[in-house]
């Protein structure tokens, strides 16, 4: 199974913003123990490349570790060299897509309009990130899939445990979950990480029925 297929199967991508060397491994381990299979560490985080490298070594293939908030191709290359399994951006940059494809790494650019979605697909993106999804709502995905049924969509921004299924039902293949799942600054004790693991498990369990329905139609 290639990395894009693994992301699609994972369904949930926690977005870790502003973690540090003191907590990244505990966060990663708690998420993976909770059943998470793909994790995004944002590139504007200090020492992001080092954190990605450490997290990748920690999970040992149990989950994909990607780089998020990648704004240009130079940053994408730096993160890929550090071991990023996929690249996610809040914006659309064709050079970043092309660079990632050159290295065989999935790039998920940020889009907001049908024109941006088509531009991303034409540039070689196999999945796009609808952002901020919370502004547009789940029905927007259904409407976009009318003229663009081929678009594989990750919805990110304003998504949480209570509204996540609405996005899946309307056609999102993957959702990115930020502070609703991971708040690095609030994680300090063993009990905090245990709670994070339990919360991750709640998200994963909610998505299991989606994968089961898909498997039944294969």
Q: Which residues are catalytic?
A: 40, 129
CB 218, CB 52: distance < 8 Å: no
Give helix then strand counts, H and E, for the chain: 10, 9
Contact indicator for 128, 108 with CB cutoff of 8 Å: yes
Angle at 171 between CA 169 and CA 173, to 5 degrees: 105
Task: Output the furthest CA–CA distance in the chain (Å, rounded).
Answer: 49
């Amino acid at each position: 199974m290639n990395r894009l297929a693994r992301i699609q199967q994972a369904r949930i991508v926690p977005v870790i913003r502003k973690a540090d060397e003191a907590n990244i491994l505990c966060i990663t381990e708690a998420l993976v123990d909770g059943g998470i299979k793909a994790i995004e560490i944002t590139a504007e985080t200090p020492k992001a490349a080092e954190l990605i490298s450490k997290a990748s070594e920690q999970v040992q293939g149990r989950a994909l570790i990607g780089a998020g908030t990648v704004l240009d191709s130079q940053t994408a290359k730096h993160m890929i060299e550090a071991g990023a399994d996929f690249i996610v951006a809040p914006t659309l940059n064709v050079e970043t897509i092309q660079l990632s494809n050159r290295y065989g790494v999935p790039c998920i650019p940020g889009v907001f309009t049908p024109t941006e979605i088509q531009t991303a697909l034409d540039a070689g993106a196999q999945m796009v990130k609808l952002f901020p999804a919370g502004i547009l709502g789940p029905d927007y995905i259904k409407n976009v899939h009318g003229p663009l049924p081929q678009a594989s969509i990750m919805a990110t921004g304003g998504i949480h445990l209570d509204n996540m299924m609405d996005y899946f039902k309307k056609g999102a293949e993957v959702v990115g979950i930020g502070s609703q799942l991971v708040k690095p600054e609030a994680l300090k004790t063993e009990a905090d990480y245990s709670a994070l693991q339990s919360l991750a498990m709640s998200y994963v369990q909610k998505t299991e029925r989606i994968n089961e329905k898909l498997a039944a139609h294969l």
